[in-house]
C-alpha cells in the first residue's frame, strides 16, 4: 500500500474520532436524567401528649341532686362524665332570657327546689362554648356565660322534657331552655349518677350563696407518685416557629429567638413563655378566649393530665386550666398545678405551665372529717366562695422524683385557695399558686 493511501486512512480515522468526540460532548451537554419524583418528607409535628375533646375540659366540679327534701352529691369523674355524655345527645330549644339581678336567695331557692340537678362550674362558661356539648336550635346565641346549670325534671312524665336553667353568679342573670328527652333515657343517666352520690348538707349563709358539703366523713386515697418530666427542648420545638434561630443561655434555663422568650424553673418544674409583641388590650369575646386558649394548648397535646377550665379574666385575656386527680382539684405551694394562657392580638402572649407528669403511684386510704365538721373550723363563712375536697401536692424531701398527694379540705376565695386543718382558725390566709 502506498504512502498516499496510508495518509488517507489516517485522515479518515482522525476525522471519525473528532466526529465521535463531538457527538459524545453534545450528548453529555444535552442529557437530562429521568429522575423519579420523590415527595418531600413531612416531619411529624411535635406534641406533648394526646389531644382532647373540649367536653373533657369544660366540666363541672360537682353534681348536686335535690329530691324528697334531701341532697345527694358527687365529684367523681365517672358520674360527671356520664352526665356530660348524656347532655351531648340532647337538643335544646330556644334559649330565653328570664331575669337579671338574680339574688343569692333566689339562687339558693332554685337549687333547693324538688327534682333538681345542679352542675357547679369553677369558672363562668360561655354559652357559645358550651354549645359544643349541648346543641341549640338557634343559629346564634347571645354572648352570655354561666356558673351553674340547673336541670329540673318535675314535668318529665307529663311533657317528656327537662328545663335547663343557666345561672351566672358573676352577672346575676338567668336564662332557660326546654330540652326534649325520653323518660327511659333520663332515668338511665339519673341512676348512674346517684350510684356515685353520697348525702350532702346545705350550709345556709345569710345574704350569700349556700355551701354544699358531704354530710359524713369521707374516705379518700392518698397517693405517692413517681414523676417524669417533659424536656424543655420539646417545649422549644413546640413554641418557637423557627428553632434554628433559638439560642439558650449557659445553664439551659432561657431560650430566645429574638422575638419570644421561654424560661424554665427546675425547682418548681414549670416553664414560662412570653411573646412581648403580642401584648394587647383590645376587647375579645369570652367564648373566643376560651376557644383560642383551648385550641392553642390542644394543638400541641398540652393537656397532659385531667386539666379543666377553671378561671377566666376576660379583661386581661387570661384563661386557666386546673389539674384534677380522681375528680378532685390538686393544689400545691411548691409548684404550679395550672396551665395559664394570656391571649394577645392574634396569638398567645404568655403561656405558663408545669412540665411534670405523673407516671406511677402507690396508694393508701385515709379518712377526712365531714364537710359539716370542717365548717366549724371556719369562723367567718361569709369570707369564702367555696369549701371543697382536693389534693395537696408536695415533693419528697429525699427524692425529687417522688411527689405525695394528700387528700385535704380547702377553702376557695376569688380564685385563691387555703388548705384547712382540723384546728379551729380565724380568718384563713389564702395561698396563691
What is the model's pTM?
0.86
321 — pLDDT class (breaks 50, 70, 90): very high
pLDDT of residue 43: 56
8 — pLDDT class (breaks 50, 70, 90): low
pLDDT of residue 236: 94
**Strand stretches in 15-155, DSSP E:** 62-67, 70-74, 91-92, 96-99, 116-126, 135-136, 145-152
> pLDDT tens digits, residue range 303-320?
999 999 999 999 999 999
387 — pLDDT class (breaks 50, 70, 90): very high
Structural domain spans, the chain: 54-215, 216-231+260-433
Mean pLDDT across the stretch 10-16?
55
Query: Among the CATH numbers 3.40.190.80, 3.30.1860.10, 3.30.310.160, 3.40.50.300, which is that of 216-231+260-433?
Result: 3.30.310.160
Angle separating helix axes 77-88 and 183-194, nearest 10 degrees: 170
CA distance linking residue 415 with residue 93, whole number of Å: 34
2 — pLDDT class (breaks 50, 70, 90): low
Q: Do the bridges between strand 145-152 and strand 161-168 make them parallel or antiparallel, or are there none, so unpaired?
A: antiparallel
CA distance linking residue 141 with residue 136, whole number of Å: 8
> pLDDT tens digits, residue range 210-267?
999 999 999 999 999 999 999 999 999 999 988 899 998 878 789 999 999 999 999 9
CA 314 from chain centre, in angstroms, equals 17
pLDDT of residue 376: 86
> pLDDT tens digits, residue range 110-168?
999 999 999 999 999 999 999 999 999 998 999 999 999 999 999 999 999 999 999 99
Amino acid at each position: 500500500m502506498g504512502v498516499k493511501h496510508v495518509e488517507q486512512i489516517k485522515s479518515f480515522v482522525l476525522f471519525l474520532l473528532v466526529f465521535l468526540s463531538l457527538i459524545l460532548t453534545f450528548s453529555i451537554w444535552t442529557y437530562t436524567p429521568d429522575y423519579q419524583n420523590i415527595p418531600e418528607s413531612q416531619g411529624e409535628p411535635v406534641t406533648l401528649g394526646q389531644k382532647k375533646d373540649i367536653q373533657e375540659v369544660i366540666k363541672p366540679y360537682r353534681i348536686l341532686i335535690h329530691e324528697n327534701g334531701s341532697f345527694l352529691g358527687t365529684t367523681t369523674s365517672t358520674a360527671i362524665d356520664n352526665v356530660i355524655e348524656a347532655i351531648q345527645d340532647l337538643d335544646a330549644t330556644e334559649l330565653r332570657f328570664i331575669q337579671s339581678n338574680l339574688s343569692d336567695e333566689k339562687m339558693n331557692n332554685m337549687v333547693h327546689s324538688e327534682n333538681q340537678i345542679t352542675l357547679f362550674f369553677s369558672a363562668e362558661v360561655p354559652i357559645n362554648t358550651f354549645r359544643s356539648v349541648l346543641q341549640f336550635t338557634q343559629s346564634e346565641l347571645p354572648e352570655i356565660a354561666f356558673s351553674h346549670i340547673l336541670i329540673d325534671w318535675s314535668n318529665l312524665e307529663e311533657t317528656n322534657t327537662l328545663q335547663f336553667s343557666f345561672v351566672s353568679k358573676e352577672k346575676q342573670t338567668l336564662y332557660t331552655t326546654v330540652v326534649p328527652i325520653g323518660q327511659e333515657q333520663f332515668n338511665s343517666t339519673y341512676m348512674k349518677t346517684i350510684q356515685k352520690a353520697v348525702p350532702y348538707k346545705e350550709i345556709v349563709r345569710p345574704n350569700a350563696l349556700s355551701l354544699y358539703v358531704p354530710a359524713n366523713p369521707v374516705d379518700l386515697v392518698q397517693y405517692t407518685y413517681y414523676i417524669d418530666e417533659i424536656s424543655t427542648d420539646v417545649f422549644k420545638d413546640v413554641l418557637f416557629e423557627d428553632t434554628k434561630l433559638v439560642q439558650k443561655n449557659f445553664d439551659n434555663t432561657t431560650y430566645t429567638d429574638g422575638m419570644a422568650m421561654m424560661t424554665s424553673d427546675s425547682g418548681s418544674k414549670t416553664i414560662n413563655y412570653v411573646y412581648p409583641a403580642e401584648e394587647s388590650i383590645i376587647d375579645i369575646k369570652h367564648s373566643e378566649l376560651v376557644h383560642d386558649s383551648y385550641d392553642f394548648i390542644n394543638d400541641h397535646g398540652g393537656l397532659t393530665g385531667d386539666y379543666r377550665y377553671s378561671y377566666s379574666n376576660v379583661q386581661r385575656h387570661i384563661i386557666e386550666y386546673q389539674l384534677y386527680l380522681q375528680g378532685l382539684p390538686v393544689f400545691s405551694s411548691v409548684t404550679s398545678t395550672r396551665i395559664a394562657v394570656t391571649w394577645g392580638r392574634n396569638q398567645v402572649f404568655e403561656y405558663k405551665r408545669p412540665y411534670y407528669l405523673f407516671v406511677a403511684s402507690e396508694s393508701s386510704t385515709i379518712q377526712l372529717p365531714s364537710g359539716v365538721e370542717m365548717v366549724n373550723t371556719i369562723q367567718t363563712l361569709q369570707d369564702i366562695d367555696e369549701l371543697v375536697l382536693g389534693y395537696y401536692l408536695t415533693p419528697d424531701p429525699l427524692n425529687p422524683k417522688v411527689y405525695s398527694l394528700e387528700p385535704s379540705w380547702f377553702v376557695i376565695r376569688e380564685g385563691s385557695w387555703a388548705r384547712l386543718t382540723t384546728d379551729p382558725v380565724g380568718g384563713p390566709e389564702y395561698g396563691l399558686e
